[in-house]
Structure 1
């Protein structure tokens, strides 16, 4: 179709007066092209250096080509089409609106048409000749607009691909603990507005599953990072993004950390994944969405599992040596005392047993731990250790007892 249009416009059959007037316009091409380029440049951001030259080249070439066509000269479209596709591509790649190019085309058309009308009045050009020029110009501008559309589409696709790469790099920078300056630079490259704080989520999916970025709000960054998928978004968008995650993967479990500064993302990522591990260990209740803030103490207590295991072998050795039933009731009593420091009757009321039962148990606890129970540092460590260990034992984790048996033979 474009080939047919080109052939028609190469022989427009313009009246002689219109042809004469077009020929007289050849000296106006450069001033008009400069005017259009400068007007557009004024509305562009500073980083678009070089765009003014591209606009000038495109407008200057189009006006010269239009005059050549009107004068019946052989004038292939190839170079002109390429210029306008480049303009559309550049505008899209810069993240500017398509209306910017339309403004330039309309401005050039308007300025050229003003010159034509003035000359038409000065030279008493007939209405028929002026209408013929108007029809030719309208058809020509429509052709240029199509080239801009093609270039703009390609530029948009390229920008999206570049943004995806930049955003993936941004996620990795944040997770690796990059400086705030580096994070800000990557956010700018990825066209992502960096908030003062971010919400980090760890999404537990089935093996091989992945949630596509386009399933989430544009403000959400996401990438599969085995064994879970990371999602980072502004805190204000966290609730909406969580719903989108649930819609995209109904069987997934989402662990949502409390908001943190961008430079603390590595810690938030650990905490969110730790919460998922504690769900799997049955320390935290299994829910589709885990609010890490509600389980901050558990996440903290289990932040160093190796240290917990070592301390359990050292501090809890007297309890680990007890029979399973004795260990259970003594631990239950000791933990309530550590948390409340109450009397035997008060502890008995909490546990639903007779006060004398508590006294029997307390006598055995003193036999096991002795003077250590009067050491504030030991008591503090014991409280934290039991709060971290008892939920594991209740959930069926026998590793502390198995390890004790292996060490003692």
Structure 2
């Protein structure tokens, strides 16, 4: 919305403005007629500006106050040689309009009408004045109108900025409450109402990877709670599984890297964020492919595996103990074969296709595994444990793969096969 009403402010005459050409005693002649002029201006504004057409209500009381004060200030400027009108009053008017949620357009339209009426009344007796004074007086009317309109617009802008800042602070407090956990539904609903955030049934937290963020802050839909100033930048997406929400979220996060947590009830937002951050750490370590935006729901089994890595390590040491005395390269080959065998329904030919090796090589390795593990391979519970630790082992090796000597390893197996 433009702040300018009427004509722009002009300094003219070496920066003195029009006021220096207006006799100061003119203020004494105008002052007794201000009440009549005010009534005429108010009547004309009510006729021309729809919002002021009724004689009561918030617009009407504001109108009278502004008209009377604007006229008084104009006369004061004539009497004093042109100091600016008191900005506090007119800024307060603009702030008040913003605070009431009203547009400033009706007030600015009223100021334009008021300026025209004021000049019409002044010019009725202008024939008594010198042409130079008439010109200065007309310019002064519209400069004064422009000044007070600009001050009202500035107050309006400042109030909107304050309101936006306060609303953003409320939303950050709401995000803190949700991600801290423990708050009840009613407490969340109260703060959500204060923050003008429609209370959703479900949410999904997003943990952003600050290492891959552009210098420009991304733009998000207005219903997404955002705090990019945190040590761990965070978002909260309301109703993420609603119609079209996936596409909306993907567009909003198109320039980001991070993890979207699972969809949960709004009171469990902290749980969604915990899982998102845990998955983000796995992506940063290279356990999963974390290019772009990752959804937790696509990697839940991996997340479960790595929730307690010390426990996982203990289980691996227990179940893979038969491999412990072998060389590292032997452990890798047999572990890879055993996992493929468990995943393929214990079918040697399918294992060979998975590993791209000869079926006879697979059978040789399986005989080694039978010798090492014995009856453990017949127990379904132990096979389940083995698949868990072998999957985790494979994921861990993808983080920092250990260099091997493939030619020597294959040669060793070929020699062993010839002996069979």
Shorter-chain TM range is 0.5 to 0.7
For the pair 1:168 / 2:169, whether they are aligned, the reply is no
Count of matched residue pairs? 366
- State the match for 2:92 in structure 1: 86
For residues 10 and 156 of structure 1, what CA distance do their matches in structure 2 show? 40
For residues 108 and 252 of structure 2, what CA distance do their matches in structure 1 show? 41
Worse overlay, 217-226 or 5-14: 5-14
Unaligned runs of 5+ in 1: 43-50, 246-253, 399-409
Normalised by the size of structure 1, how large is the TM-score?
0.65
For the pair 1:56 / 2:58, whether they are aligned, the reply is no
- State the match for 1:47 in structure 2: none
- State the match for 2:253 in structure 1: 242
For residues 310 and 138 of structure 1, what CA distance do their matches in structure 2 show? 84
1:329 to 333, 358, 365: 333
Q: What aligned pairs does 1:96-115 form with structure 2 within 5 A after superposition?
A: 96=101, 100-107=103-110, 110=113
- 1:313-355 CA distance string (max 9 Å, x none): 3333333344323322221222122212133333334334444
Kindly tell me: are residues 242 and 24 of structure 1, through their superposed partners in 2, closer, same or farther at Cα, counting changes over 3 Å?
closer
Kindly tell me: are residues 5 and 374 of structure 1, through their superposed partners in 2, closer, same or farther at Cα, counting changes over 3 Å?
farther
State the Cα distance separating 1:292 from its structure 2 match. 5.0
For the pair 1:301 / 2:298, whether they are aligned, the reply is no
- 1:143-170 CA distance string (max 9 Å, x none): 3201112212322443343344334333
Worse overlay, 254-263 or 142-151: 254-263
On the 8 A contact 2:342/2:387 being kept in 1, the answer is yes
For residues 148 and 237 of structure 1, what CA distance do their matches in structure 2 show? 38
For residues 320 and 91 of structure 1, what CA distance do their matches in structure 2 show? 78
Secondary structure of the structure 2 residue equivalent to 1:284: coil
- State the match for 1:230 in structure 2: 234
- 1:17-72 CA distance string (max 9 Å, x none): x8776444567899999999x957x9xxxxxxxx949x836742542551685699
Kindly tell me: are residues 79 and 395 of structure 1, through their superposed partners in 2, closer, same or farther at Cα, counting changes over 3 Å?
closer
For residues 398 and 114 of structure 2, what CA distance do their matches in structure 1 show? 83
For residues 104 and 42 of structure 2, what CA distance do their matches in structure 1 show? 19
Kindly tell me: are residues 154 and 329 of structure 1, through their superposed partners in 2, closer, same or farther at Cα, counting changes over 3 Å?
same
- State the match for 1:260 in structure 2: 263
2:287 to 278, 283, 289: 283
State the Cα distance separating 1:85 from its structure 2 match. 0.3
- 1:345-374 CA distance string (max 9 Å, x none): 333343344445444433443444444444
- State the match for 1:380 in structure 2: 384
For residues 73 and 291 of structure 2, what CA distance do their matches in structure 1 show? 72
Q: What aligned pairs does 1:10-159 form with structure 2 within 5 A after superposition?
A: 11=24, 13=26, 22-24=34-36, 52=58, 56=61, 59-60=64-65, 62-66=67-71, 69=74, 81-92=87-98, 96=101, 100-107=103-110, 110=113, 138-159=142-163
Worse overlay, 63-72 or 380-389: 63-72
For residues 266 and 138 of structure 1, what CA distance do their matches in structure 2 show? 58
On the 8 A contact 2:178/2:267 being kept in 1, the answer is yes
Q: CA RMSD in A?
A: 5.1
For residues 185 and 16 of structure 2, what CA distance do their matches in structure 1 show? 54
For residues 156 and 191 of structure 1, what CA distance do their matches in structure 2 show? 15
On the 8 A contact 1:203/1:230 being kept in 2, the answer is no
For residues 371 and 91 of structure 1, what CA distance do their matches in structure 2 show? 83
Worse overlay, 388-397 or 25-34: 25-34
On the 8 A contact 1:57/1:83 being kept in 2, the answer is no
For residues 161 and 350 of structure 2, what CA distance do their matches in structure 1 show? 70
State the Cα distance separating 1:216 from its structure 2 match. 3.5
Secondary structure of the structure 2 residue equivalent to 1:205: helix
Kindly tell me: are residues 9 and 270 of structure 1, through their superposed partners in 2, closer, same or farther at Cα, counting changes over 3 Å?
farther
State the Cα distance separating 1:103 from its structure 2 match. 0.5
Kindly tell me: are residues 349 and 140 of structure 1, through their superposed partners in 2, closer, same or farther at Cα, counting changes over 3 Å?
closer
On the 8 A contact 1:32/1:108 being kept in 2, the answer is no
On the 8 A contact 1:373/1:379 being kept in 2, the answer is yes
- State the match for 2:409 in structure 1: none
- State the match for 2:131 in structure 1: none
Secondary structure of the structure 2 residue equivalent to 1:299: helix
Worse overlay, 156-165 or 190-199: 190-199
